[in-house]
A and B are shown apart, each in its own frame.
Chain A
Amino acid sequence: MPLIQASNISKSFLAPKGKTVDAVNDVSLHVEQGEILGLLGPNGAGKTTFLRILGTLISPTSGECYLNGKCMAEDPESARRDIGFLSGNTKLYGRLTVREMMRYFGRLYQLDEEHITQRTDELAHLLDMTEFVDRRCETLSTGQTQKASIARVILHDPKLLILDEPTLGLDIMTARTIMDFIDSARDRGHSIIFSTHYMTEAEMLCDRIALMHKGCTMMTDTQEVIYSATGTSNLQAAFLSMVDEAAETSA
């Protein structure tokens, strides 16, 4: 049984004059235990909306998501206990220190105080944060902030990590830290679904890739299968080829 299974997910938003815009249109995919699934697509492809649905931040207009076989819509709060969600929009509280922030989130995940303290120390050591763990988040550098964000995401040891463009706007070194973290998280048995613009990142990390365009998944498979289906040798070429094909079909 896959860790997470999304079936026929659609999401429409209300547009002016009562019209609707389909941000996600009938998307189905799954992520296995210990697997990295990459979600690739241009801006406006619906990646963020889809990931927000998986993270139960918003509800789908239709379709269902299952985590460990349980329908997430029935108890989204419980589902979120098993999910770590990181995106460009999940920033940290500037006026709290990293340790206070960890304690805050630990309490929201209802971890006991001792466990929070122990886990914070453990993560501070693991992510090389001991130097700044007692500094306010607003005083941290971009790299330090990103480390603190990762610590926040894995504080409760979630089974699934949802990472929406986690390396967007970061310098090479910080992006590298994130990539290493994703890689090591898989080794520790976490399942990961992450979206990115950067094809090289996906090529390096992902077990499988889902290509999204205009709210739909054009293909979800391993890189080898995608290359052979499109007759290409890299993800960028594969993606462009599929977009062209889709445009021709609709014309």
Chain B
Amino acid sequence: MNFMITRTIYFKEMLDTFRDKRTMITMLGIPIILYPALFIIMIQMAMLQESKLDEQVSKIALLGPVSEMVLTELKKTDQVEFQNYIESPEEALKNGDFDALVKFESDFDEQVNQDGSGKITILYDQTEPSSREAEGRLYKAFQGINETLLNQRLNDNNLPETFAVPLKVDDKNIATASKSSGTILGAILPLIMVVMLSLGAFYPAVDITAGEKERGTFETLLSTPATKLEIVTGKFLAVFTLSLLTGFLNLASMSITFYFQLPQLVNLKTAIPDGEQLVAISPISVVGIAIVIIPLAFFISAIMMSVSVLARSFKEAQNYVSPLFIFILLPVAATSFPGIELTATTQFIPLTNIALLFRDLITGDVQIQYFFTVFLCTCIYALMSLVLATWMFQREEVILSEDKGLPLTLDRRAFTPSDTPTAGTAMGIFAVVMLLLFYIAGYVQGQNVYTGLIITLYLLIALPVIVILKYVKVNLKTALNLKRFTPLAAVGVILASFSWVFINIQLGLWQNEVLPMPPDLTEAFGKIFKATNVPLLVLIFVMVVSPSICEELLFRGAITSGLRNLFSPKVTIIIVGILFGLFHLSIYRFALTGLTGIILTYYVVRSGSIYLAMIGHFINNFVAILFEKEIMPSSFIQYLEGINIEENGFPLHIMAASIVAFIIGIVIFEKSLTKPKTDI
């Protein structure tokens, strides 16, 4: 690689970007103007609100038999005005005619005079600042009255003040001010930083890849002696620099704003929740965050580059990159759930680990080991993303593609009939299904697990696949790989799939040692299978037959045929496997379902028949039910209990037999393929 050429491309891209107003506004305008402006507006609003509330007279309605003694005391309170009786009091409160209501119980005076407890209720509207203020004033006044009456009673009975306070509890918050402030900032700052870094990378990444294609300058560049590696490196370094610059500018602007504006905020109770303190981020934390921003910007820039290079225009790239924001922000947003902290596991989760480290850095509570691991991990993820971006750049069909990617219109007339969906459409179907699962599946399965599963499989998975494919005028028979298979292929698949179940169980046991599945989850799975009140045939229909049909239509049908248009068979098999793993929405099941997905996709890519994957899927789930329901010869059950699989795993001879059977199955399957077949 010639570094002079890379340097030339880098400086040209920087110059080009600095002359692009759109990028400049996102990069410089937002951080420089946004934070100070937001802060100033917030402070001014809070101050205005507070002074208004301080001056405002609270209008209080009194209900029930009003105690004269209490009223006399209450009237001593500043800026409170009372009325005795109104019609529909609660309605009047809702309408804002009053700020609060005080309701006296009918026996109030009697109870107070006889050393009982006179009951008063304050009605107010928590969402209205004036009502909250009125409630605060009343509460304070009642506390004073309460104290006076108590002292009076103690005096009457010659009792010391401590009589009424058998326990004196003091709590002391040992959190430093920076830590207290960090808990608030820690929840917000990582999100803001990741959004800003992404935006900082987004415009340059799109502009110098898809934008360059759209402007027709990419081919000009490719006609020079610069290699693709030099081009991608120069361009990537520019995106990285700009993203990093955005990150630093945001961090600097945020820190400076906090430093100068916070003192004004500290005494404003309307701006800060009770009991919280805010202080500026410490300089050491700022340096720590700045260090971590470097690999983070690298990582995000590479992801943005990889995705935007697939598009042929700025608009198309926006369509690709916008959903990517969700995938980038979700792991960051997840860190705001209570109890999520940097641990031996979370330190490896991309983006989540960075967000948690940011939080720890702000609270000043960071462990150097985690700092190191997260930094290192992010560097590795960043490098992997860069490799992906470089690989994309090496592909001439990506760089010089003139084919349509994702359809930019949803008008059905714009679609031309085709045999398979585009890769973009396939991924669109996957996204739609995932959204339906996210929003609806949880709810329907919560109502009734079996009916819910049926609805999920047929209405939320299979139906969208068919409807979308029909809508974009794709031939269902070819798109879903509905092709006949030979009996010999089925024999191979049955043997391989059956033996794969044993290998998969063993892999699961090994995985459990590294990443133990929480007992709740294991129990939840067991419950579905072991429910005694559900007939076996129903269970087989729900858990075996239906997934084998519906999930296969999505993964080995639409997605496989779509991705085959863009990727080689090998890459398609791996990607579909990964998507199948992700689909199961559990980190504990990802690897195993992913591997099973790879094998099932392999059957289809090689043979062109989805039915073989359905058979494989059927066997996989069917054997799982047999195991869970213990439907097998009693001697075998006794044998299994004897060797205690969960503790020791399968004996070596069973594993060896399974692997041999699996290989034989695959060999038979391969032999069964008649030409033309797809080479891998």
Q: Is the CB of A59 within 8 A of B216?
A: no
Q: Which B409-423 residues have C-beta < 8 A from chain A?
A: 418-420
Are the C-beta atoms of A95 and B19 separated by less than 8 Å? yes
Q: How far is the CB of A150 from chain B (nearest CB, A)?
A: 13
In contact, B16 and A95 (Cβ under 8 angstroms): yes
With the chains together, A84 CA to B20 CA distance in Å? 29
Q: Which of B5, B225, B396, B400 has the most CB of A within 10 A?
A: B225
- A80 sits at the interface (CB 8 A): yes
Q: How far is the CB of A104 from chain B (nearest CB, A)?
A: 5
Chain B residue nearest to A58 in the complex (CB): B396
| Per-position 1/0 for A80-123, Cβ under 8 A of B | 11011101111111111000100011011110000000000000
- Interface stretch among A9-17, A29-37, A64-72, A207-215? A9-17
A90-B223 contact, Cβ under 8 Å, with A104-B12, A108-B8: yes
Q: How far is the CA of A85 from the CA of B216 in the complex (A)?
A: 13
User: Which of B217, B224, B419, B561 has most chain A Cβ within 10 Å?
Assistant: B224
A110 lies within 8 A of B219 (CB): no
B4 at the interface (CB under 8 A from A): yes
User: Which of A18, A58, A92, A109 is close to B220, meaning CB atoms less than 8 Å apart?
Assistant: A92
- For A87, A88, A93, the residue with the greatest tally of chain B CB atoms inside 10 Å of its CB is A93
Chain A contacts for B561, CB-based, 8 A: 17
A17 touches B420 (CB 8 A): yes
B564 at the A interface (CB under 8 A): yes
Which residues of the partner chain B approach A55 to less than 8 Å between Cβ atoms? Answer: 223
Q: Are A107 and B4 in contact (CB under 8 A)?
A: yes
Cα distance A95–B13 in the bound complex, in angstroms? 10
Measured CB to CB, the closest approach of chain A to B303, in angstroms, equals 25
Q: Are A110 and B19 in contact (CB under 8 A)?
A: no
A186 sits at the interface (CB 8 A): no
Per-position contact with A for B223-243: 1 when CB-CB < 8 Å, else 0?
111110000000000000000
Interface string of B323-346 (1 = CB under 8 A from A): 000000000000000000000000
Q: Considering only CB atoms, which chain A residue lies closest to B562 in the complex?
A: A16
A83 in contact with B420 (CB, 8 Å): no
- Shortest beta-carbon distance from A127 to chain B in Å: 17
Interface size for chain A: under 10, 10 to 19, 20 to 34, or 35 or more residues?
A: 35 or more
Cα of A96 to Cα of B215 in the assembled complex, Å: 13
CA distance A93 to B16 in the complex (A): 8
Given contacts A57-B400, A91-B216, contact A77 B227 (CB under 8 A): yes
Q: Which of B225, B420, B478 meets A108, CB within 8 Å?
A: B225
Give the distance in Å from the alpha carbon of A11 to the alpha carbon of B5 in the complex.
29
Cβ-defined contact, A89 with B219, below 8 A = yes
Cβ contact within 8 Å between B400 and A92:
no
Q: How far is the CA of A13 from the CA of B8 in the complex (A)?
A: 33
- The answer, yes or no, to whether A190 is at the interface (CB within 8 Å) is no
B15 at the interface (CB under 8 A from A): yes
Is B56 part of the binding interface, using a Cβ–Cβ cutoff of 8 Å?
A: no
Binary interface encoding of chain A residues 10-54 relative to chain B, with 1 for a CB under 8 A from any of its CBs, else 0: 000110111000000000000000000000000000000000100
Query: In the assembled complex, which residues on chain A have CB atoms less than 8 Å from the CB atom of B397?
Result: 13-14
Nearest opposing residue in chain A for B605, CB measure? A18
A81 to B224, CA, bound (A): 7
CA distance A77 to B19 in the complex (A): 30
Contacts of A96 in B (CB 8 A): 12, 15-16
Q: Return chain A residues, CB-CB under 8 Å to B227.
A: 77
A194 to B36, CA, bound (A): 59
Contact B400–A58 (Cβ < 8 Å) = yes
Residues of A within 8 A of B221 (CB): 108
A53 and B215 alpha carbons, distance in the complex (Å):
22
**Residues of chain A within 8 A of B5, CB atoms compared:** 107-108, 110
Chain B residue numbers with a CB within 8 Å of A62 are none
Per-residue contact bits, chain B 545-580, to A (CB 8 Å; 1 contact, 0 not): 000000000000000010011000100000000000
Inter-chain CA distance A94–B219, complex, in Å, is: 15
Q: CA of A92 to CA of B220 in the docked complex: distance in angstroms?
A: 8
Interface flag for A184 (CB, 8 Å)? no
Asked whether, in the complex, the Cβ of A90 is within 8 Å of the Cβ of B219, the reply is: yes
A152 at the binding interface (Cβ < 8 Å):
yes
- Is the beta-carbon distance between B564 and A18 smaller than 8 angstroms? yes
B678 on the A face (CB < 8 A): yes
Is A78 positioned at the interface, with any CB of B under 8 Å from its CB?
A: yes
Report how far A17 CA is from B220 CA in the complex, Å: 32
Q: Binary interface profile of A, 138-170, with partner B (CB < 8 Å = 1, else 0)?
A: 000000000000001000000000000000000
In the bound complex, residues from chain B placing their C-beta under 8 Å from that of A100 are 15
Residue with the highest number of chain B CB atoms closer than 10 Å, among A16, A87, A100, A110:
A16
Is B626 interfacial (CB-CB < 8 Å)?
no
Nearest CB of chain B from residue A92's CB, rounded to whole Å: 7
Q: Which B residues touch A58, using CB under 8 A?
A: 396, 400
Interface residues of B (CB under 8 A from A): 2, 4-5, 8-9, 12, 15-16, 19-20, 215-227, 396-397, 400, 418-420, 478, 561, 564-565, 569, 678
Task: Please provide the 10 A-B residue pairs with the shortest distance between their CB atoms, ordered closest to farther.
Answer: A91-B216, A85-B223, A90-B220, A89-B219, A108-B224, A107-B8, A95-B19, A77-B225, A58-B396, A16-B420
New A-B contacts (18) at CB < 8 Å, excluding given A90-B217, A93-B12:
A17-B420, A18-B678, A52-B400, A77-B226, A78-B225, A80-B225, A85-B219, A85-B220, A89-B218, A90-B223, A92-B220, A94-B215, A95-B16, A96-B12, A108-B5, A108-B224, A110-B2, A110-B225
Q: List 20 A-B contacts (CB under 8 A).
A: A14-B397, A16-B418, A17-B419, A17-B420, A17-B478, A17-B564, A17-B565, A57-B219, A81-B225, A83-B223, A90-B216, A90-B223, A93-B215, A93-B217, A95-B15, A96-B12, A105-B224, A108-B226, A109-B224, A110-B4
